[in-house]
Amino acid sequence: MKKLKILGLLFAILTIGCKAQTTEKEAITEAITAFSKAGDSNDANTLDTLLDTNYRVVMNRLFGSKTVSVVTKAEYLKKIKTKEWGGDSRELTIENIVINGTVSSAKVTFKGKKATIVSILILVKNEKGIWKLVNDTPIFK
């Protein structure tokens, strides 16, 4: 009987842990989906709310470059507002989400008419429990 109670308790703890993980993955998925839609529609105001203050796009050797280029949040939002970036109807595929406490990463593919981009996104959970994007490291296919 005692073993049964212990097994029941362990099962309950594991179930609660899995449920919490699922809820976090859903919240992260929602944040990434909103980010994708806002970029597709050049909605800089919505993007501003989805991105952490420290948001950066880190591009390693893109477009024939031999260096790493970093685009700040302000520069990124300006490129969205001027429609230099964004404005494509893309299909979003989230391939993998890894949660490490209040930090998570996701490998995503944005497949659009203009380009296919595979990115590693880093998100941070703020003090209000909201997941925000803090880093995007894209590769163009």
Number of domains in the chain: 1
**CB-facing half-sphere around the CA of 23: CA atoms within 13 A:** 8
**CATH no. for residue 31?**
3.10.450.50
Prediction pTM value: 0.83
Domain containing 106 equals 2-140
The per-residue pLDDT for 5 is 57
Q: For 14-51, how does the pLDDT look when each residue is reduced to its tens digit (9 = 90+)?
A: 445 444 567 999 999 999 999 999 999 999 999 999 99
Strands 91-100, 116-125: pairing is: unpaired
- Give the span between the Cα atoms of 100 and 123, in whole angstroms: 10
- Return all residues near 44 (Cβ < 8 A) that are at least 6 apart: 38, 77, 80, 81
DSSP H helices, 41-136, are 44-50, 73-81
pLDDT given for residue 63 in this prediction = 80
